[in-house]
Structure 1
Amino acid sequence: MNDVPISILSGILFCLILLSAFFSSSETGMLSLNKYRLKHLVKNKNRSAIKVQTLLERPDRLIGIILIGNNFVNILASAIATVIAVRIWGDAGIAIATAGLTLIVLIFAEVTPKTLAAFHPEKIAFPASWVLSILLKALYPLVLIVNGLSNGLLRIFGVNASQGNNDKLDTEELRTIVNEASGLIPAAHQEMLISILDLEKVSIEDIMVPRNEVVGIDIEDTIEEIIEQICQSRHTRMPVYNGEINKIIGILHARHAADFLRDATPSKAALLKATVEPYFIPESTSLNTALLNFQKDHQQMGVVVDEYGDVQGLAALEDVLEEIVGEFTPPTLDEEEEIKILEDGSFRIEGSTHIREINKTLNWHLPTDGPKTLNGLIIETLEFIPERPISLWVGQYTIEIQEIQDKVVKYAKLQLNR
């Protein structure tokens, strides 16, 4: 090597630094790729993506070939740089070569190419995969020896390098990805995806119409009262019960009610014949399960019951779907009164309003792990049934009871204290 001109050695050194930059950027680019975008490209038959995925299936071999190449060119570059420096500066050239080459490799063969690859992994990894595949085939015996020794050491620490990475996501990780994709997914679609992921956390009890608000037909009423109630009802389905809501006989659909009303001599027997058998849902059923059961059993509405079989309320398929896509129909006058903003910025809210509905409407964070309604939250916090208007604090929210009726909070004034 002493007979080789310095100009040629300098050219070789320059090429070695470029090769070192190639191996450094390839390593960072390969390991910085978005695994899910890569799978999408593979599904679309992108040849470079397929090549990259093949290499990533055995990361130990990929890292092995990259490090073999990188170390080889770095060591050779160090030797050549030392020869050049010694020729120019004598024995002092060893120190100069060490310091100079370290700085050059650090900037031009490590930090700069790795940073570039981290920002543009596909542009680096895809072309590099073709070169690395050829090198892997050419140096396969050497890679096997190096990996065999390395994997043997890893097994001592309980690591099996032959197993691929586990790229499976749990629900919380998937939720994070959806939230982070706000610039790529329309806001409405993003909310729907998050709502679908939340179905498992929400029970049917959270969305049901509570029993005290259920509008049904008491078969013990007179036929005239029943007909008037059907004509004035705005619901498409109504439960038919015998004396009390716990004794539900069936469900009357508006279509069948119309046939009943067209009868020349409407009777209770004809009404019962027009009803269908009620469909019961345990109150602890998650919305995800409830949705699947509605679909499997071809049902549109269910009667929510507790562990003792007592009716707690009604839940419709529409209510579950609204948790995903939002309201289908505009609120009625009664529903608009559930949450009403006041002039001072506070809110007048009905006691029967679901806490989840309050949180969704106002973007608040009232606790939902206990009572499901505002009235239940107030009573649980106070630990007694209020008999007169009083005020209380729940976290950072001030609640002022305004009206009490039949031992339940009818209306309360709520305000967020910032």
Structure 2
Amino acid sequence: MSDDNPHSRNGSASKSFLKRVMQLLTSEPKNKDQLVDVLNDAQDRDLINPETKQMIKGVLDVSEMRVREIMIPRSQMVTIDINQKLEDFLPIILESGHSRFPVVNEDIDHVDGILLAKDLLAFGFNSQSHDFSLGDIIRPAIIVPESKKVEPLLKEFRSNRYHMAIVVDEYGGVSGVITIEDILELIVGEIEDETDDEIDDQIKHLAGNVYLVKALTELSDFNDYFNCDFDESNADTIGGILLHKFNHVPKKGELFNLDNFEFKVLSSDNRRMQMLQVSVNKSHEINGKLSD
């Protein structure tokens, strides 16, 4: 005989609901997917906000990642040669906006140490700056393999109080660089500072008739800014124009004179130029004014 009592049916439904709630409260997630489901449910019930959920999920993601997945590749590293003079690499520091720089000896696979930009302050106000030696102020470089897990590296960053590590492949060649900021951004999202907008600028006036220009600056933008007419049918960027004239990838420090400009390569790797110092002939007009 079927039970048509509505109170009985309601009582069974309530017990079933309570049973599911108790299972949710007493059981533990068996894997990451189940834990994410718990987080999603907590957000749906307004127990945590979306930002908190995203940070927790970021921690979970970091726990499974390896350094090779988030490192800055070698082609994008901003380095300084240990044999460069202060006046030669200072524009690179000013343009990049970074606070730490790998210091290389001859090529990127030989890293002698890490330069902290703040360590240069003493020489900026010292009349004895002609005695400056980059090798005297660089810090030791921390080397980590590509395969290292990100989570223990973050712990090492914190416990040993360093912020940058050089990443190497299985043969000992430099693959890239990783910073504590790269890891933290996976958890809390992109960290912007007061230099980020400046870094996006393709052309920066240093002083007088000297400028810093990214090699990938669109040729049309370069022509507009400097009131010149390099042939845009030959290349899309100012770096492309120089490659066309050099007939090879210029090395750091190479000079080239073209029309009213002197180009000096400030940073370059085996495949492309990255940063240029551009000196403008003083008789050349920029935006209707003579260059200072």
TM-score range, shorter chain: 0.5 to 0.7
> How many aligned residue pairs are there?
200
Q: Given that residues 97 and 199 in structure 2 are in contact (C-alpha distance below 8 angstroms), is that contact kept between their aligned partners in structure 1?
A: no
Counterpart of 1:315 in structure 2 is 178
Does residue 181 of the first structure (1) align with residue 181 of the second (2)? no
Letter in 1 for 2:36: R
Kindly state the Cα deviation for residue 223 of structure 1 after the two structures are TM-superposed. Answer: 4.1
Distance, in Å, in 1 between the alignment partners of 2:163 and 2:172 is 20
SS at 2:108 equivalent:
coil
Counterpart of 1:328 in structure 2 is 191
Distance, in Å, in 1 between the alignment partners of 2:109 and 2:54 is 37
Cα 1:170–1:121, aligned 2, differ >3 Å: closer, same or farther?
Answer: closer
Counterpart of 1:112 in structure 2 is 10
Q: Which runs of 5+ in 1 are unaligned?
A: 1-98, 126-164, 338-405, 409-418
Distance, in Å, in 1 between the alignment partners of 2:131 and 2:197 is 30
Kindly state the Cα deviation for residue 286 of structure 1 after the two structures are TM-superposed. Answer: 2.3
Q: Given that residues 280 and 304 in structure 1 are in contact (C-alpha distance below 8 angstroms), is that contact kept between their aligned partners in structure 2?
A: yes
After the TM superposition, which segments of 4 or more aligned residues of structure 1 sit over 6 Å from their partners?
none
Does residue 225 of the first structure (1) align with residue 88 of the second (2)? yes
Cα 1:262–1:206, aligned 2, differ >3 Å: closer, same or farther?
Answer: farther
Does residue 172 of the first structure (1) align with residue 33 of the second (2)? yes
Return the TM-score normalized by structure 2. 0.59
Distance, in Å, in 2 between the alignment partners of 1:316 and 1:216 is 14
Q: Given that residues 119 and 137 in structure 2 are in contact (C-alpha distance below 8 angstroms), is that contact kept between their aligned partners in structure 1?
A: yes
Report the aligned-residue RMSD: 3.3
Q: Given that residues 175 and 197 in structure 1 are in contact (C-alpha distance below 8 angstroms), is that contact kept between their aligned partners in structure 2?
A: no
Letter in 2 for 1:211: R
Kindly state the Cα deviation for residue 198 of structure 1 after the two structures are TM-superposed. Answer: 0.7
Distance, in Å, in 2 between the alignment partners of 1:279 and 1:187 is 36
Q: Larger Rg: 1 or 2?
A: 1
Letter in 2 for 1:315: I
Map 1:255-334 → 2, pairs under 5 A? 255-266=118-129, 270-329=133-192, 331-332=196-197
Q: Given that residues 96 and 199 in structure 2 are in contact (C-alpha distance below 8 angstroms), is that contact kept between their aligned partners in structure 1?
A: no
SS at 1:307 equivalent:
coil
Map 1:396-415 → 2, pairs under 5 A? none
Q: Which runs of 5+ in 2 are unaligned?
A: 203-269, 273-292
Counterpart of 1:239 in structure 2 is 102
SS at 2:102 equivalent:
strand
Q: Which of 111, 114, 131 does residue 251 from structure 1 map onto?
A: 114
Return the TM-score normalized by structure 1. 0.42
Cα 1:266–1:230, aligned 2, differ >3 Å: closer, same or farther?
Answer: farther
Q: Given that residues 227 and 261 in structure 1 are in contact (C-alpha distance below 8 angstroms), is that contact kept between their aligned partners in structure 2?
A: no
For residues 198-231 of structure 1, give each alpha carbon's deviation from its aligned partner in whole angstroms, at most 9, with x where no partner exists: 1123222222221111111112234431344344
